Amino acid sequence: MAENATSPTPRADGATTPDWHDRHDDRRAGKAGLGVAALGVVVLNVAPFMDWVDPAGDGDPRTGYATDSLVPFTAYLALGLLLAMLYAASRARRGQHRGLTLVSMAAGLAATVQFVAFAVQPMGGLERGDDLAAQVGVYVAIVGSALWALGSGLLAREVEGDDEHTGAFLAAR
């Protein structure tokens, strides 16, 4: 006779205790981190349309799209990871997949550092001899990617399959 998933688990001393998952299945990851990440991704996807650099003396600013193909790629990568996290939130038993959120956080941190480096020394002009000055789009991208990383990190801190067990659970084992 097969036991169903909600039947008590026998212990070594003969007593029974419900499975840990049966007692904690109602716990789900909060969505605040996902909301912060989504806000950051939206901001980051607006940034490529803004002015990123202005060649000194030209008065002809260039958008993120015209400056470097890495700019829109990073925004699209963020969008893809956000969609994956939304899918995981709808499908995962506890509402998130920690591995995915950690990858998203790492990509957001890398993007933030990349854009900070771009603000300090705009890339793409050195080989052409341009004297480029960073414009507002770079700083919008820094804010967006930082929010993306922060939100992903907040979501990764939420409950998932590897969350900590309570002392009562450990005592029952």
Strands 9-10 and 51-55 come out as unpaired
pTM attached to this predicted model: 0.73
The CATH number of whichever domain residue 141 belongs to comes to: 1.20.140
**Domain presence at residue 148:** yes
Is 58 inside a domain boundary? yes
- Is the pLDDT at 39 greater than 50? The verdict is yes
- Residue 32 predicted with pLDDT over 90: no
**Within a domain: residue 61?**
yes
Structure tokens at 38: 């989504």
In a domain, 9, yes or no: no
Confidence of residue 28 (pLDDT cuts 50, 70, 90): low
Domain count for the chain: 1
What is the rounded average pLDDT of the residues 50-65?
A: 82
* Greatest mean pLDDT among 17-21, 29-33, 40-44, 163-167: 40-44
Domain for residue 79, yes or no? yes
Residue 133 lies in a domain: yes
Evaluate whether residue 169 is within a structural domain. Answer: no
For the stretch 60-96, pLDDT in tens is 788 888 888 899 999 999 999 999 988 888 876 665 7
Q: Average pLDDT, stretch 11-15?
A: 63
Residue at 12 is within a domain: no
- The whole domain housing 76 covers 29-160
